[in-house]
Structure 1
């Protein structure tokens, strides 16, 4: 292999993940599975350590506490969702097209089985451990609302929308998109997931109502 080819390959390859960071991610994946199976309160750091083939000291060194480990899981899920959200918000097209793409992604992700399981844990454990609710809200819904509000504010500045309170408009849009199907997923888990046609019809109607209110 020529030196130029070797250099090209080195550029194309992702940089290696440091061993400590790789182990941290592996533990978080195991912890998520245990939390989903047992709930937050009934899960111990010892249980997670045993499942991950690690010591409790390793867990505490990486995450500080069980709450810290839970925060890592929520944050990781939120980051993956926000990466896709940002892709939707940057896509070319009209405001309506962007909102339809965004709304579809939001609804599909909120109906995901693991996302619903995480939400159930937060709701069930919230009264006993309010920090879980705070962690979930700040890492998830608040960050999504902030991203959407920035998009609506920029569209207003460009003269495409008239959102005098972008944060409020973002809450209204998000609520209209996810509330009904999210509630169904939480209280009727045996119900079949919404079809693509149902999702499209729902999102199209929400976007149409939103634009009727806010489009210039």
Structure 2
């Protein structure tokens, strides 16, 4: 995907007037899903600037007016595509309470999902778009943060706090700052250079993903587990 600057709003990015949309009409969920899928593919393949609402409509098999009706403009479609991808890769069930599951097994499940998300073509494409001139501090950037990194951080903090309360981690469950630090460290162990290489278009990391995931979990447990694994 090309790393191109995000242009100023143009007729392509501007939604039709409310009257043109037919306010009050129920949205078709199947059409919405088709538009999201088409938009995701085109953003990954063509970049932000290289994706038009007309092309999304054609790929989804709907009218351009329908695309605008669901998402308002191209920025709205991009943010919605990011949110849908994050929710699909990191479903709520991943962080649901499961005290019967051993800590290491639980962390491996989360680690596999986080690594898969952060190295997915969709996430790499989003990182390139958001790194373009004009996107720093934008609404799109803030919404992306809330939909992906912030949501992951909060869910992981809650999981670590619960496991700390059970005595499985050397963390005070009431110490929010230390819990947040531990969660950030866990995420950093799973991303780092491997993700940066993909964003920059370099060769993939030479380390096997499963080896990388296992090492990240082991490192985290050696640092924080009440009964750390042997070296």
Compute the TM-score of the two structures, normalised by the length of structure 1: 0.77
Structure 1 residues 118-140: Cα deviation after superposition (integer angstroms, max 9, x where no partner): 22222226537822211211100
Structure 2 partner of 1:202: 215
**Aligned residues of 2:40 and 2:122 also touching (Cα < 8 A):** no
Q: Is the 8 A contact 1:63 1:69 kept in 2?
A: yes
Instruction: Say which structure is richer in helix.
Output: 1
**Mapping of 1:48-63 within 5 angstroms?**
48-63=56-71
Measured in 2, the distance between the counterparts of 1:126 and 1:88 equals 37
**Shift >4 Å, 4+ stretches:** none
- After TM superposition, list the pairs within 5 Å mapping 1:1-216 onto structure 2: 20-83=28-91, 86=94, 90=98, 92-124=100-132, 127=135, 130-161=138-169, 162-163=171-172, 164-165=175-176, 166-191=179-204, 194-211=207-224
For the Cα contact (< 8 Å) 1:96–1:211, is it kept in 2?
no
Determine if contact 2:153/2:180 at 8 Å carries over to the other structure. Answer: yes
- CA 1:154 to 1:79, structure 2 compared with 1: closer, same or farther past 3 Å? same
Structure 2 vs 1, CA of residues 54 and 188 (structure 1 numbering), >3 Å: closer, same or farther? closer
1:182 is displaced (CA, Å) by: 1.3
Supply the RMSD in Å over aligned alpha carbons.
2.9
Q: Which whole-Å CA distance do the structure 2 matches of 1:169 and 1:132 have between them?
A: 27
DSSP 3-state at the match of 1:198: helix
* 64-73 vs 142-151, greater mean Cα deviation: 64-73
The aligned length equals: 198
1:69-108 Cα shifts (integer Å, max 9, x gaps)? 1121111111112217626863743323322332233123
Gaps of 5+ in 1: 1-17
TM-score, normalising length: structure 2: 0.72
Map Cα deviations across residues 161-182 of structure 1 (whole Å, 9 max, x no partner).
Answer: 2142222321122112222321
CA gap of 1:202–1:27, structure 2 versus 1, over 3 A, is same
